[in-house]
């Protein structure tokens, strides 16, 4: 059983999943889970893939997880989206308030990113004030919805340094999509997201930029938008509400169960139907 579990599968799982799997299959110490060496291995394994400041995954894990999700798209034909998030004027924050305040900004941004995404998404600190999020099994407009939610959350949540001082932070977001129709490598997908990020900076910052594709209506329905809003614990966006109001046949059904809008793929991941 232990041999059947590939190294990549272990690395790309959250730390608690690794702990469970190793305790079931890989721990041969007679002392069991209380073995000091076993706990040390678990701690080291987690540290290798975690950014110590923010608690998000690091670049090493990001690269391996991205390759895994691109392979999943080839197999399932469900798109994978990539968000590249950069805090605006972060150097000015460090210069004016100090590096410790800058660290607080980074930690709060990481928390907001984690709260604004699903557990199956891969949230990473890419370097400095830059973050990346892999959105598995996510079409373009749903990824835009998530990116806007993160951007708004960062802009609307000040960082409190003390009782008298608070810092207002904004972020620019670049979005790229890997799909069966438009496949990319890991390198070209990161480059595409980075290009959209630079576009967001050039156009004034505090915005989301993404490539304009012809997306069939069947891929992004009102039900999908509503399901995504419910999944992240928020109300449907104003754009979604406007779409529904323009439809004379639209009628809200309070009895609809959002759980019916999700199915599991063969790896246990959930995606919207």
Q: Give the number of other Cβ atoms within 10 Å of residue 249's Cβ.
A: 4
- Please say whether the beta carbons of 2 and 27 come within 8 A: no
- Please say whether the beta carbons of 73 and 79 come within 8 A: yes
Burial class (CB in 10 A: 0-12, 13-18, 19+), 105: buried
Rounded CA-CA distance 82/147 in Å is 10
Q: Which of 16, 40, 69, 129 is catalytic?
A: 129
Is 3 assigned a catalytic role?
A: no
For residue 133, what are the contacts with CB-CB under 8 A and spacing of at least 6? 82, 83, 85, 113, 117, 121, 122, 123, 124, 146, 150
For residue 198, what are the contacts with CB-CB under 8 A and spacing of at least 6? 174
Rounded CA-CA distance 169/154 in Å is 6
* Distance between first and last Cα of the chain: 33
Rounded CA-CA distance 74/78 in Å is 8
Q: Give residue for tokens 């959105």.
A: 135
**Residues classed as catalytic:** 129
């Amino acid at each position: 059983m232990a041999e059947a579990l590939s190294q990549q599968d272990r690395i790309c799982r959250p730390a608690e999943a690794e702990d469970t799997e190793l305790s079931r299959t890989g721990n041969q110490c007679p002392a069991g889970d209380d073995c000091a060496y076993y706990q040390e291995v678990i701690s080291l394994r987690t540290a290798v893939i975690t950014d110590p400041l923010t608690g998000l995954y690091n670049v090493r894990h990001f690269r391996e997880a991205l390759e895994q999700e691109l392979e999943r798209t080839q197999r399932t034909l469900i798109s994978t989206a990539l968000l590249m998030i950069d805090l605006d004027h972060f150097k000015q924050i460090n210069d004016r308030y100090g590096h410790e305040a800058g660290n607080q900004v980074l930690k709060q941004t990481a928390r907001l990113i984690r709260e604004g995404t699903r557990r199956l998404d891969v949230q990473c600190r890419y370097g400095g004030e830059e973050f990346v999020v892999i959105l598995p099994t996510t079409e373009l407009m749903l990824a835009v919805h998530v990116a806007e939610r993160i951007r708004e959350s960062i802009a609307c949540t000040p960082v409190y340094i003390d009782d008298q001082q608070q810092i207002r932070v904004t972020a620019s977001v670049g979005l790229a999509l890997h799909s069966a129709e438009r496949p990319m490598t890991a390198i070209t997908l990161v480059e595409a997201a980075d290009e959209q990020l630079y576009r967001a900076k050039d156009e004034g910052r505090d915005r989301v930029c993404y490539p304009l594709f012809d997306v069939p209506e069947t891929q992004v329905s009102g039900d999908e938008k509503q399901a995504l809003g419910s999944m992240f614990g928020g109300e449907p966006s104003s754009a979604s509400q406007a779409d529904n109001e323009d439809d004379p046949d639209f009628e809200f059904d309070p009895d609809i169960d959002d759980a019916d809008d999700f199915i599991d793929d063969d790896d246990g991941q959930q995606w919207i139907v």
